Amino acid sequence: DVKVTQSSRYLVKRTGEKVFLECVQDMDHENMFWYRQDPGLGLRLIYFSYDVKMKEKGDIPEGYSVSREKKERFSLILESASTNQTSMYLCASMSSGNSNQPQHFGDGTRLSIL
């Protein structure tokens, strides 16, 4: 089974802090994704990556950046956290090729910015 592990289930940070959310997958997947989930809005794509050191903006990249130095690890960075970034963050991975393959999700990080 694919295992996607997010480093923290719950995180509380202060406004203006630099925040790192970590995600690791164990299936050698090329593609990795970061979403945020808000009630009534579903999942919205922040950034994704097709390969090491590759990244692409999703639908809501403002205020975020990402890093992919190793294939198994994809980090989401909040450069200067703000209260409107309080949300659930979900990481996913997927094998490359045909887009009929499913994405595999971690359990999420519930981030609160005070």
Partner 1 sequence: AQSVTQLGSHVSVSEGALVLLRCNYSSSVPPYLFWYVQYPNQGLQLLLKYTTGATLVKGINGFEAEFKKSETSFHLTKPSAHMSDAAEYFCAVSEGYGNKLVFGAGTILRVKS
Q: Minimum CB separation from partner 1 for residue 1, in Å?
A: 11
| Token pair listed for 66 | 């990402």
Residue type at 12 in one-letter notation: V
Residue count, binding to partner 1 (CB under 8 A):
28
| Token pair listed for 45 | 């794509």
For partner 1, the closer of residues 28 and 79 by Cβ is 28
| Token pair listed for 64 | 């975020």
Under DSSP, is residue 64 helix (H, G, I), strand (E, B) or coil? strand
Query: What is the contact mask toward partner 1 in residues 50 to 79, using x (rule: CB under 8 A)?
Result: x-------x---------------------
Residue with tokens 């499913």: 102
Residue type at 104 in one-letter notation: H
Query: What is the contact mask toward partner 1 in residues 18 to 57, using x (rule: CB under 8 A)?
Result: -------------x-x------xxxxxx--x-x-------
